[in-house]
Amino acid sequence: MDGSGQGGAGQGAVGRAGEARELQRGWYGEPLGELFQRLIGDLGLNQARLAAVLGLSAPMLSQLKSGQRAKIGNPAVVQRLQALQELAWQVAEGRTGALEAAARMDEIRESAGSSLLGTTSHSLASETAAPRQVVRGVQEVLRSVASAEEIEQAAHSLAPDHPGLAEFLRVYGAGRTSEAVAHYEAHRD
């Protein structure tokens, strides 16, 4: 294109999608496209099944995945997404088998989203499950009140007088879940 037609509009859409993915990184720890692909791979799903379990339409999932939409508006869907992340982690750790994971996905799909975190078809109160659940709860609270950029700014402001608190905000508010779990495990009594 000559730059005066749809080429410019296309570049604007690409820029907006990139901005949406950065917002997603702040809200969810990573762009939803990456997160959805990992869940699809880890849990042996296809995109339509993932959308059904989350309670989203396939077009909405596609829009979130591509960055056409930035935020999941329904808190129950966010809770289902967190429950699926926990389930994928349990499958990866070998603590949950394929049949049990399929049954758990049906439970997640049927749920209204409340009481999903920490709820499984059997008790998983092991030491390895607790840190991730605690971290996800802290991340959810921090990310519900501020973006990753705002949390980084607050951490920067606090760093000279309160370096430990600044580190906490950076790790839990703007970092990846795996980094926050490692931090939690290193600092718990």
Predicted local confidence at residue 13, as pLDDT: 72
User: If you write DSSP's letter for every residue of 22-39 in order, what string do you get?
Assistant: HHHHHHHSS-HHHHHHHH
**80 neighbors 113 (Cβ within 8 angstroms):** yes
Residue-wise pLDDT tens digits, 136-171: 778 877 877 778 888 899 999 999 999 999 999 999
Q: State the residue range of the domain holding 184.
A: 125-189
In single-letter form, the type of residue at position 135 comes to V
CA-CA distance, 149 to 42, in Å (whole number)?
30
Q: Residue 122 — very low, low, confident or very high, per pLDDT cuts 50/70/90? A: very low
Structural domain tally of the chain?
A: 1
Residue-wise pLDDT tens digits, 66-76: 999 999 988 88
In this structure, is residue 164 part of a structural domain? yes
In this structure, is residue 150 part of a structural domain? yes
In this structure, is residue 129 part of a structural domain? yes
Half-sphere exposure of 77 (CA within 13 A, CB side): 17
In this structure, is residue 165 part of a structural domain? yes
Predicted local confidence at residue 189, as pLDDT: 61
In this structure, is residue 86 part of a structural domain? no
Tokens 């869907």 belong to residue: 77
In this structure, is residue 163 part of a structural domain? yes
Mean pLDDT of 92-104: 86
